[in-house]
Structure formats: C-alpha cells, structure tokens
Structure 1
Amino acid sequence: MSKVICALSVSVDGYITGRDPGVGRGLGDGTMLFDWYFDGDTPSKIFDGFRLSELSAPFFDAQAGRVGASLAGRNTYDDSGWSAGGTPHPTAPLVVLSHRPAPQVNERQTFVTTGIEDAIETAREAAGDKDVALMGGGVLTSALEAGLVDEVILHQVPILLGGGRPFFQELPEHVRLRLLEAVPAPGVTHLHYEVVR
C-alpha cells in the first residue's frame, strides 16, 4: 500500500510561509525557504527548472519520485495560485480538502469536502502504487491526528522567520518520530522521519 508522507521546506522556528501569505501574495515574504531549489548546479530529474546542490538533488528527486498524488488544504491551494489548474508536482494530480467548492473544474484537481480520511482515500486511489504527499500545516495536522501519516520530511532552512504559517498546528497528543536520514546540504538540511505508531 502507498504511504502518506509530508515533505516541506520549513524555517528553524517552524514556519512554512513568510508573513502575510494569501491570495495574490503567494507564500508571503518567506520565499527564501525555497532558494535551495535553485541555488545549485545539479538539475532535478523530476522538476524542470530546479537546480539543486549536488547533495540535495539525489535526496529531493528520490522523495519527489515517490509521489503519485498530492493532497493540499484550501489555504495552501489558494496561496499557491493553483485555481487556474496548476498542481505542486509535475506529474501527480492534486486533491484539495476544502469546505468551499472548487473555483472551476479541472481534470488534474479533485475537491473533497467530507474530511481528511476521505481526502486521503481519494488521493490514494489517484496515486496508484505511489505515495500521497501532504501539503500544508492544517492537512498534515489533521492527518497526524487521524493516525494516517507514515513519514515527515523537513527541508529545514537555516533562517528564523519570526512569523508566517506554522508547519504544525496544535496536536491533542505527542507524535513520536524516528530519524531515518539526515542530509546536510548548502542552504538546507534534509531530515527524514518515520512516524512511530
């Protein structure tokens, strides 16, 4: 069965956006969270235009190559400008968990309004034998609460943003993680964890 993973760039103080993210403003003023996508000399084999460091490229491509579908919350969807039909992954369809209807129908996007369990099941069906990648703190927190997350990958960028959207929202109890791999690279440290059940 496919796994449910989350892999996001995050500041040392735990933010996945800069201050003041929103529709028309993108992910706020925290764009330096993504500089490592373009600061290297090694082209990604998955994402056109990404030029990663020699250390980041194999780690990033190995994780991106596992993704068969992405699942995002509505804030991430709106902030990222995907309403025109875009998706966060070049080949994987996007499932959006939202209480509001889709702005338009698109063949690479599916909206689910009935909760995280149904959204993950829809994403698993779309992913086939590949993994489901969660996008956004709200979706990740809901999936952790439901016991549905297998792995968490932090692309930790050495910056303190002091504000923005947090990676994790408040959880009702502890979630234990086991470190599988740590890859220090220029401008980012890749931390790959397994959720302990």
Structure 2
Amino acid sequence: MSKVIVGLSVSVDGFITGRDPGAGRGLGDAPMLFDWYFSGDTPSEVFDGFRLSEPSAGVFDALAGRVGATLAGRNTYDDSGWSTGGTPHPDAQLVVLSHRPAPQSNERQIFVSTGIEDAIAAARKAADGKDVGLMGGGVTTAALTAGLVDEVILHQVPILLGAGRRFFQELPEHVNLNLLAAVPAPGVTHLHYEVAR
C-alpha cells in the first residue's frame, strides 16, 4: 500500500517560509531554503533544472521518484502560484484541500473540501499505487493529528529565520519518530524519519 510522506525544506527554527509569504510574493523572504536545489553539479533525474550536490541528488530523487500524487493546502497552493494549472511535481497530480472553490478547472488538479481523510483518499487514488507527498504545515499537521503520516523528511537548512510560517502547527499530542537516515550535504542536512506506531 502507498505511504503518506512529507518532505520539506525547513529552517533550524522550524519555518518553511520567510516573512510575508503570499500570492505574488511566493514563500516570502526565505529563498535560501531552496538554494540546495540549484547549487550543485548533479542534475536531478526527476525535476528538470534542479542541479544538486551528489548526496542531495541521491536523497531528493529517491523520494521524488516515489511520489504519485501531491496533497497541499490552499495557502501553499496560492503562495506557490499553481492557480494557472501548475503542479509541484512534474509527474504527479495535485490534490488541494480547500474550503474555497478552485480558481479554474484543471485535469492535473483535484480540489477536496471535506477534510484531511477524504483529501488523502483522493490523493491515494490519484497516486495509483505510488506514495502521496504532503506539502504545507496545515495539511501536514492535520494528517499527523489523524494518524495518517508514515514518514517525515526534513531538509534542514542551517539558518534561523526568526519568523514565517511554521512547518508544524500545534498538535493535540506528541508524535514519536524513528530516525531512518541522516545525510549531510552542502547547505542542507537531510533527516529522514518514520512515524512510530
């Protein structure tokens, strides 16, 4: 059965955006969270234009190759500019959890308004046996609260941002993680955890 995974670039103090993210402003004043995508000599085998360090390429491509559908919340969707039909993954359909209607109909995007369980079910169906990748703090927190996340990958960038959107929002109880791998790379450390059951 497919897994539900989350893997995001995050500052040491837990932010996935800088200050003032939003439509037309992207993820705010924190582009350095994603410098490791483009600062190496090894081209990604999954994402055109990504040139990573060798250790980062190994981690990134292994994870990206597993994803058959991506599930994002509406803030991430709007901030990332996908309303024109784009998706975060070149080969995966995008499912958006939102209480607001889709800005336009698009065959690579599915909108779900009935909660995290239905959104993950829709993403699993779209993934066709591959894994579901989560994007955004709200969706990740909702899925963790519902017990639906299998793996957490933190691409931790050595910076303290001090403000922005936090990766994890308040959880009703603690979630135990088991470390599967820690891969140091230039400008980022890849921390791969499984959620303890």
Same fold flag (TM > 0.5): yes
Divergent runs of 4+, >2 A = none
Q: Where does residue 60 of structure 2 map in the other structure?
A: 60
The answer as to 2:176 corresponding to 1:176 is: yes
Q: Following the alignment from structure 2 to structure 1, what is the Cα–Cα distance between the partners of residues 176 and 120?
A: 21
Give runs of aligned pairs for residues 40-119 of structure 1, distance below 5 A: 40-119=40-119
Aligned letter for 2:64? A
TM-score for both structures, normalised by structure 1:
1.00
Counterpart-to-counterpart distance in 1, 2:162 and 2:19: 8
SS of the residue corresponding to residue 54 of structure 2 reads coil
- Counterparts of 1:99-178 in structure 2, within 5 Å, are 99-178=99-178
What is the aligned-residue identity percentage? Answer: 82
Shift of residue 48, structure 1, vs aligned partner: 0.1
User: Whole-Å Cα distance in 2 between the matches of residues 191 and 139 of structure 1?
Assistant: 20
Deviation, 1:164, is: 0.4
Query: What CA distance in whole angstroms lies between the structure 1 residues aligned with 2:24 and 2:50?
Result: 23
CA distance in 1, matches of 2:38, 2:54: 12
Residue type of the partner of 2:57?
A: A
**Structure 2 unaligned regions, length at least 5:** none
Residue aligned with 1:148, SS = coil
2:29 aligns with: 29
Aligned AA (2:92): A
In structure 1, the residue corresponding to 2:45 is in which secondary structure?
Answer: coil
Per-residue deviation, residues 2-34 of structure 1 (Å, max 9, x unmatched): 000000000000000010000110000011000
Distance 1:47 1:164 in 2: 26
In 2: Cα distance, 1:31 partner to 1:107 partner: 30
Distance in 2 (alpha carbons) for counterparts of 1:54 and 1:44: 10
Partner Cα distance (2:58, 2:184) in 1: 13
* TM-score, normalisation: structure 2: 1.00
Cα displacement (A) at 1:55 = 1.1
